[in-house]
């Protein structure tokens, strides 16, 4: 699950996507099918069959919507936790952010990476960077998720405007997740995929190296 780009995330299985992740759309389609089928049968003077078919489609639509609303797929869990983690960073809520990170994490970009960085050190570095950048506004959009057993990944796009550096500065990121023994998904790796639409080089790594070893 490495060396990926935004275009690589596969679509979820058909049934999972339409019956669990998009139940409202599927429910509307089922209702529309029921109405059309009932109309066709009614025009053929099959009133009883029309009523039965319409009722069946209505029950299926309601059941699909209720099931999809109550059940959260693993993909949806990762997407939700990605959004929640980003919000903790935006609000500088370090206490909450800790629960989204594994004890040690990796950071990679431009073919260079640092492995097994301490969680608390990572959060302190985020605070330093946020203070230096002086973010005035930001937005993000989760692009999707993939799950394979107890490992997964999400990708998201972010746009940041800085008081010091202007903007907006568009970036895309990938988070690698692992489901730990307590059943909770936590981030084990950050991948910086693009900056201004292009893959970033490794020029930022010396600064990170200085922060780690000094």
pLDDT digit string (tens) for 24-80?
Answer: 999 999 999 999 999 998 888 888 888 999 999 999 999 888 988 888 899 999 999
User: End-to-end CA distance of the chain, in Å?
Assistant: 32
> What whole-number distance in Å separates Cα of residue 67 and Cα of residue 45?
35
Residue ranges in the chain whose pLDDT is less than 50: 1-6, 211-214
User: What length does the chain have?
Assistant: 214
Give alpha helix (H) positions in 44-170: 47-70, 74-90, 94-97, 119-133
pLDDT value, residue 210: 52
> What whole-number distance in Å separates Cα of residue 210 and Cα of residue 212?
5
Give alpha helix (H) positions in 98-160: 119-133
How many Cβ atoms are within 10 Å of 190's Cβ, its own excluded? 19
Strand 185-195 and strand 101-109: the pairing is: parallel
pLDDT value, residue 52: 92
Q: Torsions phi, psi of 71, nearest 5? A: -95, 125
pTM: 0.78
pLDDT value, residue 183: 92
CA distances from 30 to 19, 37, 43, 50, 64 (A): 11, 10, 20, 15, 9
pLDDT value, residue 209: 53
pLDDT value, residue 214: 46
């Amino acid at each position: 699950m490495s060396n990926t780009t935004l275009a690589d995330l596969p679509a979820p299985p058909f049934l999972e996507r339409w019956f669990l992740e998009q139940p409202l759309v599927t429910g509307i389609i089922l209702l529309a099918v029921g109405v059309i089928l009932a109309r066709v049968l009614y025009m053929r003077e099959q009133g009883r069959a029309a009523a039965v078919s319409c009722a069946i489609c209505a029950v299926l639509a309601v059941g699909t919507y209720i099931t999809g609303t109550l059940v959260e797929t693993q993909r949806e869990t990762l997407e939700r936790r990605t959004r929640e983690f980003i919000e903790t960073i935006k609000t500088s809520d370090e206490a909450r952010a800790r629960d989204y990170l594994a004890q040690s994490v990796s950071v990679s970009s431009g073919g260079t990476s640092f492995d097994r960085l301490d969680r608390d050190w990572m959060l302190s570095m985020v605070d330093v960077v946020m203070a230096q950048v002086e973010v005035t506004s930001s937005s993000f959009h989760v692009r999707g998720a993939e799950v394979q057993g107890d490992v997964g990944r999400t990708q998201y796009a972010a746009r940041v405007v800085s008081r010091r550096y202007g903007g907006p500065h568009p970036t895309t990121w990938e988070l690698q997740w692992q489901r730990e023994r307590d059943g909770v998904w936590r981030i084990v790796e950050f991948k910086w995929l693009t900056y201004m639409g292009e893959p970033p080089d490794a020029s930022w790594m010396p600064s990170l190296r200085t922060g780690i070893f000094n």
